[in-house]
């Protein structure tokens, strides 16, 4: 499960390649031989598609044993043990119990799960995939006896019964149904993006009750980008500047497989998604997800004219950095990786010129990644050689605001400036969340 406030957990940089293990390995619990091995293996793939490991495995913890802390507006919660341990995990769950928890957010004992567990998305998972997931978690995961930890949310906000009414208002029950007039690849992509992939949990704006503003392409806000625990999850629509409008199908497929392409590199929550999920998906499923995402019409963005590259004014500033505070910081700390031309050395080092994250209205991700860096992308077991370092201990709030304002204006990016107060606020909140 990823969750509506996954930014913190993903920013911890958990990389868990164990999920691809065959269920017959040494970690497999007793009893797996009684299960359909093909079904268990298919469930393992689906669990990887759903990125279950990223939230249900704490750093240095045992697989799926829970304990990962996550911040919510009401306080910190801790993800649960979903190993087949009978006492502390889900070993006592029937398939019906499992399906109810996954798709309706109700545990075996009847208590409601916080919608940090993205069951509004998992509601779309079909019965066959639920069966395979159940087989994997019961027969392909080693049981771990580790008690779940109570949340830090104080009474009365920690009461769960109001979530029944939240579900009545916002949970749309029923597995995904193919849309007539759309081809097989589009419908497969829609099923994956809206369901197990639960992309909307991070990339769709939230309403006043923290519900996703839209659960599919019928809502105009769907996947248009959202602020999430100090990160701005990118716009995934066809918007030209801050979205995927300039990305080809190949660009998007490359990003989902490797976390980087000629336009951008993954950071924050998306690092975990690449590490634990999308890099392991089949080419067919990656192509289907890309086909669906590339079909979404443009929504949101910064309202500016379509981006075109122009380095002239920026080159002049970098030739005489003494006259520009932002240029001075850039030449000292950024230029050796991202270049005078702002094009970096993609895909190894991210470009800044025309980067959708640079062009976004909300600069939170730029501030966060400059302050705190990001976890390593780990592709096929090999960590990225040039991860983004954090500069919180090196640069003060004004220096970071100056350099980000320079970057957002540079190379014809034309994005709004960043204020020192914005940096100070995010510095404080990210330090408090650790």
Q: pLDDT, tens digit, for every residue of 170-190?
A: 999 999 999 999 999 999 999
User: What CATH number has the domain bearing residue 290?
Assistant: 1.10.760
Write the CB contacts of 138 (distance below 8 Å, at least 6 apart in sequence): 35, 84, 91
Same domain, 122 and 43: yes
Domain count, the chain: 3
* 157 and 15, same domain (yes or no): yes
The model's pTM: 0.88
* 269 and 317 assigned to the same domain: no
Domain shared by 395 and 332, yes or no: yes
**Domain match, 26 and 128 both:** yes
Q: Same domain, yes or no, for 347 and 241?
A: no
| Domain with 406 in it | 312-432
- Same domain? For 134 and 37 the reply is yes
With respect to residue 303, please indicate whether it lies within any of the assigned structural domains: no
User: Is residue 257 domain-shared with residue 338, that is, in the same domain?
Assistant: no
CATH number (domain holding residue 94): 1.10.760.10
Residue 299 within any structural domain of the chain: no
* pLDDT by position in tens, the chain (length 434): 344 334 333 332 333 333 333 333 334 444 445 559 999 999 999 999 999 998 899 888 999 998 887 777 777 788 899 999 999 999 999 999 999 999 999 999 999 998 889 999 999 999 999 999 999 999 999 999 999 888 877 877 777 888 899 899 999 999 999 999 999 999 999 999 999 999 999 999 999 998 999 999 999 999 999 998 899 999 999 999 999 999 999 999 999 999 999 999 999 989 999 999 999 999 999 999 999 999 999 998 777 889 999 999 999 999 988 889 999 999 999 999 999 999 999 999 999 999 999 999 999 999 999 999 999 999 999 999 899 999 999 999 999 999 999 999 999 999 999 999 999 999 999 886 66
The answer to whether the beta carbons of residues 14 and 57 sit under 8 Å apart is: yes
My answer on whether 15 and 151 are in the same domain is yes
- Shared domain for 406 and 263, answered yes or no, is no
Q: Decide if 289 is inside a domain.
A: yes
Helix residue ranges, H only, 214-308: 249-258, 269-276, 283-294
User: Would 71 be classed as within a structural domain?
Assistant: yes
Assess whether 266 and 362 both reside in one domain: no
In a domain, 1, yes or no: no
Q: Is 14 in the same domain as 149?
A: yes
- Find all residues with CB under 8 Å of 294, minimum gap 6, and list them: 238, 244, 247, 249, 252
């Amino acid at each position: 499960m990823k969750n509506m406030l996954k930014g913190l957990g993903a920013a911890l940089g958990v990389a868990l390649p164990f999920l691809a293990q065959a269920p017959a390995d040494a970690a497999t619990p007793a009893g797996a031989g009684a299960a359909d091995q093909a079904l268990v293996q298919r469930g393992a793939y689906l669990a990887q598609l759903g990125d279950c490991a990223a939230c249900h495995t704490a750093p240095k913890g045992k697989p799926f044993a829970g304990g990962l802390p996550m911040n919510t507006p009401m306080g910190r919660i801790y993800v649960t043990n979903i190993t087949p341990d009978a006492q502390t995990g889900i070993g006592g769950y029937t398939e019906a119990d499992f399906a109810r928890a996954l798709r309706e957010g109700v545990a075996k004992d009847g208590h409601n799960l916080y919608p940090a567990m993205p069951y509004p998305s998992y509601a779309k998972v079909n019965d066959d995939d639920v069966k395979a997931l159940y087989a994997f978690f019961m027969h392909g995961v080693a049981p771990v006896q580790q008690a779940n930890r109570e949340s830090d949310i104080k009474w009365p906000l920690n009461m769960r019964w109001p979530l029944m009414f939240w579900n009545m208002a916002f949970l749309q029950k029923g597995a995904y149904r193919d849309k007539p007039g759309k081809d097989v690849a589009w419908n497969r992509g829609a099923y994956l993006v809206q369901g197990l992939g639960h992309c909307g949990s991070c990339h769709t704006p939230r309403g006043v009750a923290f519900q996703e503003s839209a659960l599919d392409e019928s809502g105009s806000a769907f996947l248009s980008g959202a602020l999430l625990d100090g990160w701005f999850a990118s716009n995934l629509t066809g918007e030209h500047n801050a979205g995927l409008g300039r990305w080809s199908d190949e660009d998007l497929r490359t990003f989902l497989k490797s976390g980087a392409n000629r336009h951008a590199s993954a950071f924050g929550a998306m690092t975990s998604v690449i590490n634990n999920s999308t890099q392991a998906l089949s080419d067919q499923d990656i192509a289907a997800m890309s086909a669906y995402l590339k079909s979404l019409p443009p929504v949101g963005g910064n309202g500016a004219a379509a981006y075109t590259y122009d380095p002239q004014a920026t080159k002049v500033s970098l030739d005489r950095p003494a006259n520009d505070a932002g240029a001075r910081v850039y030449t000292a700390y950024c230029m050796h990786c991202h270049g005078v031309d702002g094009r970096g050395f993609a895909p190894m080092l991210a470009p800044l010129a025309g980067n959708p994250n640079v062009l976004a209205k909300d600069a939170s991700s730029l501030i966060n990644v400059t302050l705190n860096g990001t976890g390593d992308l780990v592709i096929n077991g090999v960590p990225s050689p040039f991860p983004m370092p954090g500069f919180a201990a090196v640069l003060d709030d004004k220096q970071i605001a100056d350099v980000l304002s320079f970057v957002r204006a540079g190379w014809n990016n034309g994005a709004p400036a960043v204020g020192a107060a914005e940096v100070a606020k995010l510095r404080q909140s990210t330090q408090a969340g650790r």
